Amino acid sequence: VHDKSRQLLCVIPNAAPVPTMGHAASRKLLLDQLGIPTDSWIAGTAAPFTARTRLKDLIWATDQLACFRDDVHLIIFGEGEQEARLRRFLSLTEATPYVHFMGIDPDVLSLIKGVDFYWHSHLREPLPSGLLQAMAGNIPVVSVYGPQTADLIVPQTTGLAANFGARDEFARWTKYLIECRDSAAQLARQGKNHVLTRFSVKQMVDGYVELYG
């Protein structure tokens, strides 16, 4: 934030809001929309459909998982000029039945809290809102690691870190989360505690009050 009146430059980080709807209720909403079996595993992401958000990496990862599991689905919230290309890329894979384009759903904040894992594939912006919200919602995350996500992802402690562009790591880490449920739950708890402590709504509000008060 730039306060032109006093020529001050202040960085006020995004906040991690506490979810108003629980995971079970959000998951039911999501399953009702998707029409998939209730025992499915669901990964989710929210990002603009541009080349920089590398959503192809996540479709490819879903394709890899489909080679040995038929119960892992990916939902993608967003829109953009790359949608036709993403759909064409998806059609060339075995992941077609398992990837769902959700558009800009008015219930996105409720629906995304119903996923089992959150995938974040790009370094387009610092402290991305979707990643923050997923972690605050006690969802285990797999995220690319870099300067934009380093304040959120303590590798293998608050989230599972993937190398930028390493598509296979999303599939490998998700397989780990499915097979090691206790570790997945611990990771989610640690991630939630981390973001609610460091990126609370109160801290964000206090930052604006201090700047403009």
- What whole-number distance in Å separates Cα of residue 67 and Cα of residue 55? 19
- What whole-number distance in Å separates Cα of residue 58 and Cα of residue 151? 22
What's the mean pLDDT in 207-212? 50
Q: What is the mean pLDDT of the chain?
A: 88
Buried residues in 73-91 as b, exposed as e (16+ CB within 10 A):
bbbbbbeeebeeebeebbe
pLDDT reading at 205 higher than 50: no
Q: 158 to each of 19, 54, 58, 98, 136, how far by Cα in Å?
A: 18, 22, 20, 27, 11
Q: Is the pTM of this model over 0.75?
A: yes
pLDDT range class, residue 14, cuts 50, 70, 90: low
pLDDT range class, residue 200, cuts 50, 70, 90: low
pLDDT range class, residue 209, cuts 50, 70, 90: very low
What's the mean pLDDT in 14-41? 86
